[in-house]
Amino acid sequence: MYPSVYWFYINDDEQRLTIIGHLPDVDVIALSTEGAEVEIVIFHGEEAFYWTSMGISNLVFVLEGYHFNIFGQIDKAVIVQIAENLKIS
């Protein structure tokens, strides 16, 4: 078994947010970017990828060796703020 993180949240308006993190040896989940404009952003000095598809925002990045995908019905500023506040301990 590999160390991984999975967190799921639903607010009072039934908007969902999911955080998935795992070490690179774990099989990667295929993410669809079909029809979406993928934006490359610099996150902690590394390339990260942000896009919105079917009302769901996605941010994919690496933090301290973990590969993360944060996605949900939230805007870019909030998703980046959540990512910036993640801590690996």
Q: What is the pLDDT of residues 45-86, one digit of tens each?
A: 889 999 998 889 999 998 888 889 999 998 889 888 989 888
| Residue 25, domain member (yes or no) | yes
pLDDT of residue 72: 92
pLDDT of residue 2: 58
pLDDT, tens only, 11-55:
888 888 888 888 777 666 677 788 889 999 998 888 999 999 888
CA dist 16 → 8, 43, 56, 73 (Å) = 7, 23, 9, 6
86 secondary structure, DSSP code: -
| Residue 71, domain member (yes or no) | yes
**Full domain range(s) for residue 28:** 4-84
- Total tally of structural domains belonging to the chain: 1
| Residue 89, domain member (yes or no) | no
Answer for the pair 81, 37: CB distance below 8 angstroms, yes or no.
no
| Residue 35, domain member (yes or no) | yes
* pTM, entire model: 0.83
Query: What average pLDDT score do residues 3-16 get?
Result: 82
